[in-house]
A and B are shown apart, each in its own frame.
Chain A
C-alpha cells in the first residue's frame, strides 16, 4: 500500500496504490489527514485508479475524509473507480455525499 499526494492551489489529489483494508487504512488516514489539514484545499480528489483491493474499510476511509473536508466547507470527489469499487461505494450511499467517477 502506498499513497501519493499532489497539490495545486485549488486541488489536493490523494492517489491510493495497492490494497485497502482495516490494517493499512490507518496509515492512509494519518498521511491523508496531515495533507488535508495543511492545505484546507477547496477540492480534495481521492484517486482510486491504482487500488487493487478494497473492503468496507475503504468506505470508512472515504467517509472519514468527507467529514473533515466538509467541516471546513470544501468538497470531495472520488475518481477512477472500477466497476466493483463504484458498486461498493453506491451500496454505502456515498454518491449522495460526493461525486463518484468511474474509470475511463
Chain B
C-alpha cells in the first residue's frame, strides 16, 4: 500500500526536541482535519516514542532520531520513529505496563500509552542496532474519507 502523502524529519536526541517532534507530526496530520482528540492522541504517542529513543536509545550520547509519517486511504495515519541506539533486549518485556529499566521518575507507561492512544503499534529492535516503533491510527475528521 502506497502512502498518499508522506514526510520525513530528522532530529538530534535532545530532550528539547520532544515538543518540536510531536508538534511537527501533528501539523502534518492536520491536513486530514482530524478532531482534537485524535490529534492529542497522535501527539502523546509520538512524544512517548521520541522520549524512549532519547532516554533508552541514546542514554549517554546524542544520536539521530528519524521520524517518518504517512497518510493512507480511509484516514489511516502512520508514524515511524527510528533510532540507531542501544536497542531493546526483550521487546515483549518492554511492552509490559509499568516495566522500566530506569526507575526514578519514569513511570514505565510509554508503550501502554502508545497502545491506548493508537489502533496498532509495532516495535522492532536489535541490540546495538536500534529500535523502530510504528504507530498506526485511523483518524476521524472531515478530510479522512471515512464517511
| CB–CB B116/A91 < 8 A | yes
Q: How far is the CA of A25 from the CA of B22 in the complex (A)?
A: 16
| CB–CB B105/A23 < 8 A | no
Q: Report if A57-B112 is in contact (Cβ < 8 Å); known contacts: A25-B105, A64-B105.
A: no
| CB–CB A91/B15 < 8 A | no
Q: Report if A56-B40 is in contact (Cβ < 8 Å); known contacts: A23-B16, A61-B105.
A: no
Q: Which B residues fall within an 8 A CB radius of A?
A: 15-16, 18-19, 22, 37, 40, 43-44, 47-48, 51, 54-55, 104-107, 109-110, 112-113, 116
Given A19, A29, A64, A91, which contacts B113 in the complex, CB threshold below 8 Å?
Answer: A91
Q: How far is the CA of A19 from the CA of B22 in the complex (A)?
A: 12
Other 8 A-B pairs with CB < 8 A, given A21-B15, A23-B16, A56-B109: A21-B18, A53-B47, A56-B110, A60-B104, A60-B106, A84-B40, A88-B113, A91-B112
Give residues of chain A (22-62) contacting chain B, Cβ–Cβ below 8 Å.
Answer: 22-23, 25, 29, 53-57, 59-61
Interface residues of A, count at CB 8 A: 20
| CB–CB B55/A21 < 8 A | no
Which residues of chain A are within 8 angstroms of B106 by Cβ–Cβ distance? Answer: 56, 60
Query: Which B residue sits closest to A54, measured CB to CB?
Result: B44
Q: How far is the CA of A60 from the CA of B22 in the complex (A)?
A: 19
7 CB-based A-B contacts, threshold 8 Å: A29-B105, A53-B22, A53-B47, A55-B44, A56-B106, A56-B107, A92-B109
Which residues of chain A are within 8 angstroms of B55 by Cβ–Cβ distance? Answer: 22
